[in-house]
Amino acid sequence: MADTLSMLNIVIPEIIVVLFAFLALFSDLKGKNRRLAGFITLVGFILAILYLLTLKGVEGNLLTFVLDSYAWSFKMLFLFASAIVAVISIGYLERAKSSVGEYYALLMLATAGAMFVVSARDLITLYVAFETASLSSYALAAYFRWDRRSNEAGLKYLFYGAFSSALILYGLSLIYGLTGRVELEAISLAISSSPVAYLALAMLIAGFGYKVSAVPFHMWTPDVYQGAPTSVTAFLAAVSKAMGVAIFLQIFVLGLGSMIGDWRLIIAVIAAVTMTLGNVVALVQTNVKRMLAYSSIAHAGYALVGIAAFNPLGIASAIFHMVTHALMKAGSFAVVGDEGESIHQLNGLWKRSRIAAFAMTVFMFSLAGFPPLAGFWSKYWLFWSAMESGLWILALIGVLNSVISVFYYARVIRAIYVIESPRTLKISRMSSAVVAAVICMTGILIIGVYPQPVIATLLEAIRAVYP
Amino acid sequence: MAVEVFVKMALYMAIALVIPVIAFFIPKLFTPSRYSYLKAETYECGEIPYGTARVQFSIQYYTFALMFVIFDIEALMMFPWAVVVKEIGILAVIEMLVFIGVFVIGLIYAWTKGALRWVMNYPE
Amino acid sequence: MIPQSYVLAFSILLLSIGALGVMTKRNPIVMLMGIELMLNAANINLISFSRLFPEGFTAQVFALFIILVAAAESAIALAIVVRIFRNHGIVDISLFEGLRW
């Protein structure tokens, strides 16, 4: 017990986040001090980030809660992305018709759940943690409760999410039946190919396919991303998607890594179809939120390329891709939340706000994968790792998709610079969304110019999960 | 062994089904039968029934029901805890206190939001 | 003792019935019931497997956690459904046409 308590410091970031969630919950009961709740949330995230920085390089476990460099990297990503979402929310929630304490509390609890996910090394902790994060995000998606589209998004998200959870649970129960263990490492030693294992694998691929919105299971993504409040959409794209990839890594690489021969081809095919469909359907969208949702589907496909490659570089760059994707999507949803979600509402943005227009341009170029930006490096390494594993067809499909995606990102850039708009009033006020966009843009530029430290950290980090 | 258990169970269920039927028919042999209007009415705890059976509940009822479900089910968590509390000792007690503390916070939140008051005028 | 394969057949049947209910019904409450059936299929599996591995209570505790989370999940679903009822006056999934491409 004594040594259990001595390791208590590794959960302190999570404890900080949960405590500040309660604080935020009670700070805005009447809807009169909305900004206060937002700033409490921001302070909570920053304190947690600072404490997490002191834990760099610390390895240890508290019963089944493990802190290693893999969990550390993901936690940093979640906290940073959630802090950006909190910044976006401070301005975006001005339009809320009720108190916003619950919103920030749910945001922090969802982040805490995601942080527990990456520290979980057994099935029970993993399940409870990802349900904590998912349940909070369902409520967040339906948060604008006077808005029918938000209701609809929340209910759709909940039903697809609950359905996929049920499939995942059935798969997990079969894995427990085959091995008698719930610890992921013990499972990877005990499991072997058998018909029941294939059934479990099918259930898990379908269930986690829903979570990361891979193609046959992607239908909920555009609806939910479009209907949810835009700040919540930023959270879903930045944090929930990264959490989905983290669970994918933990279950498939750490838990079922010994069955790689059985699932590699399926994941590779899903990755190819996901990239292609996401990019092709995004071409015809006129709603920017919906377009970015399809782009988000395509990016899940890119991350799956790294998992299918199944070598250290592939897995590290899948995580790296989630980092850059979080920055790009959080930033672009920040601008979209400020300007409006139809592509016409972005017309002439250059005339109105130089900073927002420039940031949006950086996000679009980075999403398309243009060289000096962060999005280029993550794709480059993903496709390189696929080539290393001999999946050169997958790499080729990925490159072709990057070319297709240029077309719809270019439409946004055209709207910003070329098309004239009757709204020419210059925005002098610095909104919180612009602050968030500038932070994201800075991150993308820094990672884009100097990506080596990040990928080196991640290559070090994935030793904890790569067998 | 297995079949015996099932035979016993089946026998038990058969007897259990027969007893209430018998209990209904024995009084028929002894009681006088007189018809009255009141006897034909739906029994509602002695109250005189009025209105139709399809009554719309207040939406408040569902708020209460939802909160009841949450607080009720989460108490379930104490059963596995009670099994191991002796082995783990004081740490388990602290953990349960934290767990209950979170629920108290939830309760306080619901209270301050006025969700526990029955009569409430929604601004609609 | 009931053979393990019978339990597995039963649970997969339960899972299929639940999944069919979710996919074909248009009433969110009934869809929620389908999801509960699917979760209980996993519970039945876990409980029956716990006979195979008698040491410890792992599977039973897992099942308890599933019940807990399912309760929280249905509470959130019902809260959203109540909200939809207040906005639309009716609860039917096929009303949901606000989000289309």
Domains and CATH numbers, chain C: 4-94 (1.10.287.3510)
**For chain B, how far is it from start to end, CA to CA, in angstroms?**
65
**Amino acid A32: pLDDT:** 76
Domain that holds residue B102: 59-112
- Apex A405 CA angle, A401 and A406, nearest 5: 120
**Amino acid A317: pLDDT:** 92
**H or E stretch at A263:** helix A260-282
**Amino acid B119: pLDDT:** 62
> CA-CA distances (angstroms) from residue A212 to A178, A302, A322?
26, 11, 11
Q: Which of A467, A464, A466, A364 is nearest to A119 (CA)?
A: A464
Q: Which positions of chain B have pLDDT values less than 50?
A: 123-124
Nearby residues of C43 by Cβ (< 8 Å), 6 or more positions away:
A173, C63, C66, C67
Q: Exposed, middle or buried: residue B92 (CB in 10 Å: 0-12, 13-18, 19+)?
A: middle
**Amino acid B40: pLDDT:** 74
Backbone angles phi and psi of A426, in degrees to 5: -75, 135
CB-CB under 8 Å, A22 with B91: no
- How many domains does one find in chain B? 2
Q: Exposed, middle or buried: residue A356 (CB in 10 Å: 0-12, 13-18, 19+)?
A: buried
CA gap A375, A210 in Å, rounded = 24
Q: Looking at beta carbons, which residues of chain B come within 8 Å of A64?
A: none
Cβ of residue C81 closer than 8 Å to a chain A Cβ: yes
Cβ of residue A388 closer than 8 Å to a chain C Cβ: no
CB-CB under 8 Å, C83 with A145: yes
**Amino acid A427: pLDDT:** 67
CA atoms within 13 A on the CB side of A283: 13
From the list B59, B74, B124, the residue facing C82 with the nearest CB is B59
Q: Looking at beta carbons, which residues of chain B come within 8 Å of C43?
A: none
CB-CB under 8 Å, C86 with B124: yes
A177: its two tokens:
């039946």
Distance from CA of C27 to the nearest CA of B (A): 17
From the list A180, A284, A285, the residue facing C53 with the nearest CB is A180
**Amino acid B78: pLDDT:** 86
Cβ of residue A288 closer than 8 Å to a chain C Cβ: no
**Amino acid B123: pLDDT:** 46
B86 found inside a domain: yes
CB pairs under 8 A between A and C: 124
Q: Which positions of chain A have pLDDT values less than 70?
A: 1-5, 423-429, 467
Domain that holds residue A460: 2-464
**Amino acid A194: pLDDT:** 87
From the list B63, B66, B76, the residue facing C64 with the nearest CB is B76
Cβ of residue C88 closer than 8 Å to a chain A Cβ: yes
Q: Which of A20, A40, A19 is nearest to A90 (CA)?
A: A40
Q: Do residues B65 and B107 both lie within one domain?
A: yes
A61 three-state secondary structure:
strand
Distance from CA of C56 to the nearest CA of A (A): 11
- How many domains does one find in chain A? 1
DSSP C62-74: HHHHHHHHHHHHH
- Apex C77 CA angle, C74 and C82, nearest 5: 120
Chain position carrying tokens 């990877």 = A188
Q: Looking at beta carbons, which residues of chain C come within 8 Å of A141?
A: none
Cα torsion A138, A143, A149, A152 to 10°: value is 30
B52 found inside a domain: no
Chains near C (3 or more Cβ pairs under 8 Å): A, B
Per-residue buried b or exposed e for C18-47, using 16+ beta carbons within 10 Å of the residue's own CB: bbebbeeeeebeebbebbbbbbbbbbbbbb
Which residue of B lies nearest to A26 if distances are taken between CA atoms?
A: B109
CA gap A382, A399 in Å, rounded = 10
Q: Do residues B104 and B69 both lie within one domain?
A: yes
A412: its two tokens:
């946004």
Q: Which positions of chain C have pLDDT values less than 50?
A: 101
**Amino acid C101: pLDDT:** 44
B51 found inside a domain: no
- Side chain identity at C96, as an amino acid letter? F
Q: Are A67 and A59 in contact (CB under 8 A)?
A: yes
**Amino acid A429: pLDDT:** 67
Q: Do residues B65 and B104 both lie within one domain?
A: yes
B32 three-state secondary structure:
coil
B47 found inside a domain: no
**Amino acid A365: pLDDT:** 92
